[in-house]
Structure 1
Amino acid sequence: MHDLLDYLAPRVPHVPTVLGLDDLGRESLTYLPGRVVDIDTELLTDEQVASVVGWTRGFHAAVAGFTHPGPWRYFPMPSPTLIGHNDIAPYNVCFDGNELVGVFDWDLAGPSTPLFELAFIAWNCVPLWRDIGPQAAARRLTVIASTYSGFHPRQILRAVPRRIQIMLDGIPLAAAAGDQGMVNLLALGEPGRSQSALADLVERIPAIDRRLH
């Protein structure tokens, strides 16, 4: 992860700089100022969603030149084409108004695909994990697709269940292998909590799909 951040530092804005480890072995990174949106009480604005996706497009263009044998912490993804962040969500970004000014928590970075990265953004930033109404969901999916370019919003919508299921299947396996972060997620009710949200989304997908053009 540090090699990735070092590579991105001169190429991508709004990422932390690795300062090293202190005498106790604790990681030290630069501070990224900005406001984190509380997803339990508010939604990102359409402009904030577009800012997240615009940054992601630039990140993907830059990271295409980065290779690393790993090992990576995140769950194996089918047919990866680049190193993704894998956890781009309101809780891992900060804003100045509608503009993204920070992307943090890079510990789940690893091999992925642009479509899976966008699917995870849709899950968290539309957000598709809860029902905001099919028309609003379709509009915000269209914001994601038009800002990134190259994917139809329907492609992104239909990729979400597979992308999220990979994560939900991986959490207990990683926890059993000793990943403390995944153990903590189990204690918080995952993957069951998100599995229920995903099942609800699957029922809502046809209504959202009908509103996409």
Structure 2
Amino acid sequence: MAQERIRLVGDRVHRPAGWWTPTVHALLEHLHSVGFTCVPRPYGVVDGEEVLGFIPGESGAAGWARAVPEAGLRALARLLRDFHQAAASFVPPDGARWALSDGPARPGQVICHGDFGPWNVIWDGPRPVGLVDFDLAQPGAALDDVAYALEYLAPFRDDAQAMRRQGFTAPPDRARRIEVFAEEYGLPGSAGLVEAVIHRQQLTGHHVRVLAGKGLEPQRTWAAEGFCDELASRVQWSRDNLVLFSQATPTS
């Protein structure tokens, strides 16, 4: 989430810290302790910046094209599944604070990444080797992370945008991609996932407004510039194009 003042110093990444950083660093330490080592190693906070181990590879915009082939899509589903499984045994420290909530996971919840997309994955060619940017991590339903990922991986965008900005060379088979991701993640099927994505799209708008209200950037700028209207238009597009996903109309 933090997009400014990110510096690489030797093999350490320096980026802005937030009130959530101590809890996130405890999570990252736990993940390493249980063998999920494709996340940055945390090295504390120095002068308002968190310090993390650098994971070499490609990320950001380069990740979009890596997620287009079915092999890349399946690899992302496995990465998310493995992260959720590794985080299941995490016990937050006393007084744990996340960006959007406080406290531990409730029964039935997991620790969600909160911003799981190909841009936050480190790639070694076609293979994902790292998962970064845990600023929006918090306890929640695993389905929230799955739905968030599917918005971008299906994708829940028109064909022109999918081919112009998300690495597709032909209109995507969205229903097939949803089924593939669900299968590889380990879900019993894809029923209900379109509705879950639309709900998650609505929740994203709420999260932007909450963080903007706390003065956090870039959300404060997004809200001031009308980005919440764009998020609402994405929800409407999804509702208007349900036929692309071969799913039933959501009830809300």
Are the counterparts in 1 of residues 56 and 122 from structure 2 also a CA contact under 8 Å? yes
Structure 1 match to 2:142: 114
Distance 2:73 2:200 in 1: 19
180-189 vs 100-109, greater mean Cα deviation: 180-189
Distance 1:40 1:84 in 2: 20
Structure 1 match to 2:49: 26
Unaligned regions of 5+ residues in structure 2, if any? 1-23, 163-169
Which of 107, 110, 115 aligns to 1:82? It is 110
Secondary structure of the equivalent of 1:180? Answer: coil
Q: CA deviation at 1:124?
A: 1.6
Are the counterparts in 2 of residues 134 and 207 from structure 1 also a CA contact under 8 Å? no
Distance 2:229 2:56 in 1: 33
Distance 2:188 2:201 in 1: 18
Alignment pair present for 1:207 and 2:244: yes
Q: CA deviation at 1:15?
A: 0.3
Which of 69, 81, 96 aligns to 1:70? It is 96
TM-score normalised by L of structure 1: 0.86
**CA RMSD in angstroms, aligned pairs only:** 2.8
- Name the aligned partner's letter for residue 61 of structure 1: Q
Distance 2:68 2:56 in 1: 18
Distance 2:64 2:81 in 1: 27
Structure 2 match to 1:148: 185
Unaligned regions of 5+ residues in structure 1, if any? none
Distance 1:15 1:78 in 2: 24
Are the counterparts in 2 of residues 172 and 186 from structure 1 also a CA contact under 8 Å? yes
Are the counterparts in 2 of residues 16 and 104 from structure 1 also a CA contact under 8 Å? yes
Distance 1:41 1:163, change over 3 A: closer
Alignment pair present for 1:59 and 2:83: yes
Are the counterparts in 2 of residues 130 and 197 from structure 1 also a CA contact under 8 Å? no
TM-score normalised by L of structure 2: 0.74
Q: Which string of whole-angstrom CA distances, capped at 9 and with x for unpartnered residues, describes residues 3-27 of structure 1?
A: 11111113213100001223x2321
> Which structure would you say has the larger Rg?
2
Distance 2:56 2:142 in 1: 27
Are the counterparts in 2 of residues 5 and 17 from structure 1 also a CA contact under 8 Å? yes
Are the counterparts in 2 of residues 80 and 111 from structure 1 also a CA contact under 8 Å? no
101-110 vs 5-14, greater mean Cα deviation: 5-14
Q: CA deviation at 1:203?
A: 1.3
Which of 92, 95, 99 aligns to 2:127? It is 99
Are the counterparts in 2 of residues 83 and 109 from structure 1 also a CA contact under 8 Å? yes
Structure 2 match to 1:192: 229
28-37 vs 71-80, greater mean Cα deviation: 71-80
Distance 2:62 2:136 in 1: 20
Q: Which string of whole-angstrom CA distances, capped at 9 and with x for unpartnered residues, describes residues 139-188 of structure 1?
A: 11011111011242232222011112112123123211222332133256
Are the counterparts in 1 of residues 144 and 196 from structure 2 also a CA contact under 8 Å? yes
- Identity among equivalent pairs (%): 26
Q: Which string of whole-angstrom CA distances, capped at 9 and with x for unpartnered residues, describes residues 122-146 of structure 1?
A: 0122222444598610111011111
Structure 2 match to 1:168: 205
Q: How many residues align?
A: 210
